[in-house]
């Protein structure tokens, strides 16, 4: 785990938006509320300690009350040296006993402190008195502590099981994505009410096919589970007939879907489904060629951007009418196609007759353009096209000597 710098006195703050009270232990001006996400300003004292060049965590000192003058004051490391047992009262000077700071706790031991003893506040027999005091400070709703533990590669499975019940969905999502999370915890998180948590379970490489199937079939559903290539084949076929378009689009994006299923989905009435098929590397060539004539610009754009698009489909797109894709940048469908490094020569030959000068310039600069096409573009009425064709390394050298 990465070292944690400095110390923040453990305290509780209350969110003004939802009135949730939660513990904080983080060097920051504000932290998001774990329930509603609203920024909550912090007014915490920060105690920094650096021993032996290693960043360490130290608990706060207890604030003593002087029995002589009844004055209560805050104690920090400016008042108490490391290992000291007493401090002088700032009002009357009387010597007061304080709880000495425990030995420095390196960040490498951080995961242990939010482990099995997190909920029990130090019931573990192996923990010393100082360790148990630390555990008591690390409350289950301390968002920063839980996030750090859920992301640490050395967090033990028992800790991850505990954190799987955290109040904050972002913590549960990190637990779901952790490779060491036990199968029982993943199964419980698969029924989480938050969709981000369920998607994290679906994206985890350790999630079993059975859990993926349950996620995909659930009423709430999961795009990540339905689009997962580890989803069982019979479940993919079952979901391909779903009445919900977003589920069919997730199936259409699944690289494990059969060619027959993708061919059927390529004719789906929902545009999002056809877009997903156009971008699926497993889609059969015949289905992609058919999508090249799709009436939706989004489908044809996705086809042009797909690295797996076959040459026949790209040539078919080149023969369709050009449309504007990005008004601010002046990008068109044919300009996107001419900008592909692997654009087939047949498609470039078609685009060389485009009415748009920018498209002809892109073809004239493309290294895959055939010499015969470059020869024609070198006599183009546009000076930019003519110069680009003559400067193309693929242009015949004898032709370049003529100008």
pLDDT recorded at residue 226: 93
Task: Evaluate whether residue 89 is within a structural domain.
Answer: yes
User: Which of 151, 181, 211 finishes a domain?
Assistant: 181
User: Which of 101, 134, 162 finishes a domain?
Assistant: 101
SS (H, E, C) the chain: CCCCCCEECCEEEECCCCCCEEEECCCCCEEECCCCCCEEECCCCEECCEECCEEEECCCCCCCECCCCCCECCCCCCCCCCCCCEEECCCCCCEEECCCCCCCEEHHHHHHHCCCHHHHCCCCCCCCHHHHHHHHHCCCCCHHHHHHHHHCCCCCHHHHHHHCCCCCHHHHHHHHHCCCCCHHHHHHHCCCCCHHHHHHHHHCCCCCHHHHHHHHHCCCCCHHHHCCCCCCHHHHHHHCCCCCHHHHHHHHCCCCCCHHHHHHHCCCCCHHHHHHHHCCCCCCHHHHHHHCCCCCHHHHHHHHHCCCCCHHHHHHHHCCCCCEEECCCCEEHHHHHHCCCCCCHHHHHHHCCCCCHHHHHHHHHCCCCCHHHHHHHCCCCCHHHHHHHHHCCCCCHHHHCCC
Instruction: For residue 14, name the pLDDT band (cuts at 50, 70, 90).
Output: confident
- 43 and 115 fall within a common domain: yes
Least confidently predicted of 6-10, 231-235, 245-249:
6-10
Angle CA(214)–CA(271)–CA(261) in degrees, nearest 5? 50
Is this prediction's pTM over 0.85?
no
- 354 and 395 fall within a common domain: yes
Task: Evaluate whether residue 22 is within a structural domain.
Answer: yes
- 119 and 97 fall within a common domain: no
96 lies in which domain range? 60-101
- Encode pLDDT of 94-109 as tens digits: 777 765 444 333 333 3
Task: Evaluate whether residue 306 is within a structural domain.
Answer: no
- Encode pLDDT of 317-370 as tens digits: 999 999 888 777 778 999 999 999 999 999 999 999 999 999 999 999 999 999
- 44 and 129 fall within a common domain: yes
Q: Take residue 102 and report the two structure tokens written for it.
A: 């425990």
Task: Evaluate whether residue 268 is within a structural domain.
Answer: no
Task: Evaluate whether residue 211 is within a structural domain.
Answer: no
- 70 and 158 fall within a common domain: no
Task: Evaluate whether residue 277 is within a structural domain.
Answer: no
In this prediction, residues 154-174 reach a mean pLDDT of: 89
The answer on pLDDT for 149 being more than 70 is: yes
- 71 and 138 fall within a common domain: no
- 15 and 79 fall within a common domain: no
Instruction: For residue 230, name the pLDDT band (cuts at 50, 70, 90).
Output: very high
pLDDT recorded at residue 56: 34
- 65 and 161 fall within a common domain: no
Task: Evaluate whether residue 52 is within a structural domain.
Answer: yes
- 123 and 97 fall within a common domain: no
User: Which of 101, 128, 151 finishes a domain?
Assistant: 101
pLDDT recorded at residue 3: 29
Closest by CA to 272, choosing from 300, 248, 303, is 248
Task: Evaluate whether residue 201 is within a structural domain.
Answer: no
- 121 and 151 fall within a common domain: yes
- 117 and 32 fall within a common domain: yes
The total number of structural domains that make up the chain: 3
Q: Which residue has the higher pLDDT, 373 or 72?
A: 373
- 48 and 153 fall within a common domain: yes
Q: How far apart are CA 254 and CA 58, in angstroms?
A: 49
């Amino acid at each position: 785990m990465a070292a944690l710098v400095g110390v923040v006195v453990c305290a509780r703050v209350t969110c003004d938006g939802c009135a949730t009270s939660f513990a904080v232990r983080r060097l920051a001006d504000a932290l998001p509320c774990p329930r509603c996400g609203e920024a909550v300003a912090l007014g915490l004292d920060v105690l920094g300690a650096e021993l032996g060049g290693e960043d360490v965590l130290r608990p706060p000192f207890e604030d003593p009350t002087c029995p002589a003058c009844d004055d209560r004051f805050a104690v920090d490391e400016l008042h108490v040296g490391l290992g000291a047992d007493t401090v002088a009262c700032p009002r009357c000077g009387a010597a007061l006993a304080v709880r000495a700071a425990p030995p420095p706790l390196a960040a490498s031991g951080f995961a242990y402190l939010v482990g099995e003893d997190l909920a029990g506040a130090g019931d573990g027999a192996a923990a010393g008195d100082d360790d148990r005091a630390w555990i008591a400070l690390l409350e289950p709703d301390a968002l920063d502590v839980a996030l750090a533990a859920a992301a640490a590669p050395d967090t033990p499975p028992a800790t991850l099981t505990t954190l799987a019940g955290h109040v904050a969905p972002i913590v549960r999502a990190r637990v779901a994505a952790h490779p060491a999370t036990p199968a029982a915890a993943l199964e419980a998180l698969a029924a989480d009410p938050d969709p981000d948590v369920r998607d994290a379970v679906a994206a985890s490489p350790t999630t079993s096919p059975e859990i993926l199937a349950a996620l995909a079939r659930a009423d709430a559903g999961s795009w990540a589970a339905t689009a997962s290539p580890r989803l069982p084949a019979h479940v993919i076929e079952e979901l391909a007939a779903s009445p919900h378009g977003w589920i069919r689009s997730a199936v259409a994006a699944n690289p494990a879907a059969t060619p027959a299923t993708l061919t059927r989905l390529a004719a789906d009435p929902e545009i999002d489904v056809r877009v997903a098929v156009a971008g699926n590397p497993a889609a059969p060539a015949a289905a992609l060629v058919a999508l090249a004539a799709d009436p939706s610009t989004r489908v044809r754009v996705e086809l042009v951007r797909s690295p797996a698009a076959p040459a026949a489909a790209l040539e078919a797109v080149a023969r369709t009418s050009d449309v504007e894709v990005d008004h601010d940048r002046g990008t068109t469908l044919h300009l996107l196609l001419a900008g592909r490094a692997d654009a087939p020569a047949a498609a470039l030959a078609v685009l060389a007759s485009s009415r748009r000068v920018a498209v002809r310039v892109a073809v004239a600069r493309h290294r895959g353009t055939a010499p015969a096409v470059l020869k024609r573009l070198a006599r183009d009425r546009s000076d930019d096209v003519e110069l680009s064709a003559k400067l193309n390394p693929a242009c015949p050298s004898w032709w370049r000597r003529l100008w």
